[in-house]
Structures are given as C-alpha cells and as structure tokens.
Amino acid sequence: MWLHSNRHDSPLQYLSDQIPFLSSTIHKTPIFKPGIPKLPGSEYSRALIIAATKRETEEISWIAEDLPNLPTFLYVVDDPAAPFHVPKNKGHEVMVYLTYVIDNYYNLSDVNIFMHAHRFSWHNNELLNGDAVEMLTRLNPNRVIREGYMNMRCHWDPGCPVWLRPNETEDVVLAKQEQQLVGQAFAELFPLDEIPETLSQPCCAQFAVSGDRLRQLPLDRYIWMRDWLLRTELTDYIAGRVFEYTWQYVFTGQESHCPSMHVCYCDGFGVCFKGEKGFDKWFELKYWKGQAGLKLDHWELLKEELREAERNGTATEDMEWPKEGEDEDLRAEIDRLEKEMGEMKEVAMERGKHARIRAMEAGREWKEGGGF
C-alpha cells in the first residue's frame, strides 16, 4: 500500500509526485444529476460487462444461450490474448470495470451492466431464484437511467445499513478486514474529498450505470483510479473489497446507498408486493417454510437412526421416537407455504408490469401515459 512520506503534505501531493501527468486531472466528486428516461416505447442500448477467469469462461454459455441479443464484453483477466483483456490481473472485477469504461468512454451504451461470470449465486436476487438471466431479463432500464446508478442486488445483507467505517483503525472481524485499510485507500482515491464516516451498499460488486452517469466523471478520473489499482501495494483481494463498498461513492457521491428492498425489486425488476408489508410477508412465509423443512429433516434423521438401531438390535425404549404422521403434516405445510408464496409472487410480477404501480411503490410522481 502507498504510504505518505514525510516530505509530502497530502495524498494529492504524494500521488501527483508519483503520477505527474495526472496532477491536473483530479477533481472533487461532482454533484450528480438525475437522468431523464426516454418516452414510453423507446429502446435503450445495453451492454453487459463480465469479469471472468479462463476457467470461468468454460461455464459462461448461459449468456449466448439465454441472452443472445445482449451485447457482451467478456473480459478474461488471466488471458492477455483474449479479445477483451486487462493490463493486469489485479483487484478482481475492478480492473475489468475500469478498463471497460476507459476503452469505451466515448461510445458507451445507454445502460451498462457490470456483473460476474456465474449465472447462479447466493448474492444474486433471491426472489429471482439467484439467476443472473432473470435479473438481466427483468432489469428496468428506466430506473437505471433515472437513478444513474443501480446496485443489481436488492437485499441489504451484507453491506447495509452500515458496513465500513473508514475512520476507525481498530481490529475488526475477518469479514471486514479491509476496514483497516479503506480510510487510507479512500484518501488516495479521492484526495479532494473528506473521508466519510461510513461506506455502505449491498454487496457484491454487480451494478448497472447509465452512459450519461459514467460520462459525468471525466475520462481522466477512471484512468486515475485504474492507475491507483495498478500501483497500490494492497493485495488483489483487499483492493477489490475496497471498491466493492466504494462504487456507490464513485457513481453517486453518496457514502451510503441502501435503497428500500421492496422498491429495488418493484421499480428495478418488476416484482411489486404492495409495499414493504407485502414484501416482508413473502419472506415471513419463506422463513416458516424453512423452519418446517428443518423439522422434517430432523424427523427423517430420527427415523433413519431408529431403523439402523432396529437392524443392529440396539433399539431401546428411551430412544427418541419420531411422531408417527408428523412427516406428512410437515410436507403438507411446506406445500401450502410454497403455493401461497408462488401465488403472491405471481401477483407481484403482474403488478410490476404497470408503470403507475411501480411509480407508486417507489414514491415518485406519475402521470397517465408516463413510462417506468
């Protein structure tokens, strides 16, 4: 990691000495302007930017198979001969994202979607089955244009409402090991801005940004950040983690970016549960389904242990015996909950087709004939 020498008065002075040609290009983070969606029925150009290793490219056929018309920039970080590659494999997806913007700054799509290579993951949206294809298919470009920046993950955990505290230096749990270094990194990345008290947004470095928002920062700013990434002594992993909770500051100027989860799903992906209460109700049903599943697993384990004891002749009266018929009751309860959840989700997706409903749940004004 870069350390300030005694002869330097500030992070900016230090970096200017290290990278002289950038000394006149660093600006204070701007006040970003909201975007204006196109008229209803208009088309948006889109680009999908994927960060992958050579090994991961063997499992990325889902894009061509399920999204054949989506222009895709597949950057292979450990293959210099790939059509899209990076100057150095460092910082995980950060190097890819910055390189894409630098390479395409004057020819950006309306909507630019930055994602990882795997289709299914725990950090994709749960209500969309953890499926990147569903997320990309249902993504509302009007929200991206309007907001400028949209985290593709709606769920707060991990990352919100408070995650990193850059001004704190004491030891933290392993999951936040980057916190010890993020304050210094922030000072180097944003030398004209004050170090924020917190940095928070939902994990995990997958987001969409409008072309207009990307261009509200000068090209030199992206070059500056990539140069920092190339030169920093932070490890590949930590450098990536620093940006994971800093992208929202880069593209919104906000320390914390934690939109309401039900609004993210409704306005962002067209799944509208009649507000926060309806959203919470669905996840309450999911919780009880999970509890029933755990009880059924326990019942089946006891049943198997009993059968094994009977086969071995070691069964005794003081053994815990599973209640006869309880498994059928639990399976019936799971089926009931699944059906209710499915019906709620189907209705929510139908509601999400209507611009007025999406606007209402997002809390913004809508007029007849207005788009999303």
pLDDT of residue 7: 36
Residue 357 lies in a domain: no
Q: Is the pLDDT of residue 12 over 60?
A: no
Mean pLDDT estimate for the chain? 89
pTM: 0.88
Residue 224 lies in a domain: yes
pLDDT of residue 72: 97
Mean pLDDT in residue range 104-113: 98
User: What number of CA atoms fall less than 13 Å from residue 129's CA on the CB side?
Assistant: 10
Q: Provide CB contacts within 8 A for 162, sequence distance 6+.
A: 198, 200, 256
Greater confidence (212 vs 367) lies with 212
Residues 304 and 254 in one domain: no
Residues 224 and 343 in one domain: no
Greater confidence (220 vs 366) lies with 220
Specify the DSSP element, H or E, that contains 51.
strand 46-52
pLDDT of residue 306: 83
Domain boundary residue, one of 259, 293, 320 = 259
Q: Give the angle 144-145-149 at the CA atoms, nearest 5°.
A: 45
Domain boundary residue, one of 195, 229, 259 = 259
In this structure, are residues 197 and 183 in contact, taking their beta carbons and an 8 Å threshold?
Answer: no
pLDDT of residue 27: 63
Q: Is the pLDDT of residue 334 over 90?
A: yes
Residue 33 lies in a domain: yes
pLDDT of residue 368: 76
With 0-12 CB in 10 A as exposed, 13-18 as middle and 19+ as buried, what is 205? buried
In sequence order, which ranges of the chain are alpha helices (DSSP H)?
A: 11-18, 54-57, 61-66, 93-104, 132-138, 141-147, 179-189, 211-215, 219-231, 236-244, 247-252, 261-269, 276-312, 326-351, 355-362
pLDDT band, residue 319 (cuts 50/70/90): confident
Name the least confident of 98-102, 167-171, 213-217, 306-310. Answer: 167-171
Residues 241 and 315 in one domain: no
Residues 175 and 240 in one domain: yes
User: What number of CA atoms fall less than 13 Å from residue 340's CA on the CB side?
Assistant: 16
Q: Is the pLDDT of residue 298 over 80?
A: yes
Say what the alpha-carbon torsion angle 139, 136, 251, 370 is, to the nearest 10 degrees. -20
The encoded tokens of residue 295 equal: 């009880």
Q: Is 89 helix (H, G, I), strand (E, B) or coil?
A: coil
Residues 247 and 284 in one domain: no
pLDDT of residue 172: 57
pLDDT of residue 21: 42
Provide the residue range defining the domain that includes 344.
Answer: 276-352
Greater confidence (6 vs 314) lies with 314
The encoded tokens of residue 303 equal: 């049943």
The encoded tokens of residue 365 equal: 């004004």
Q: Domain count for the chain, please give it.
A: 2
Residues 245 and 297 in one domain: no
- Amino acid letter for position 133: V
32-78 residue pLDDT tens: 988 999 988 899 999 999 999 999 998 899 999 999 999 999 999 99
Of all residues in the chain, the percent with pLDDT exceeding 70 is 89
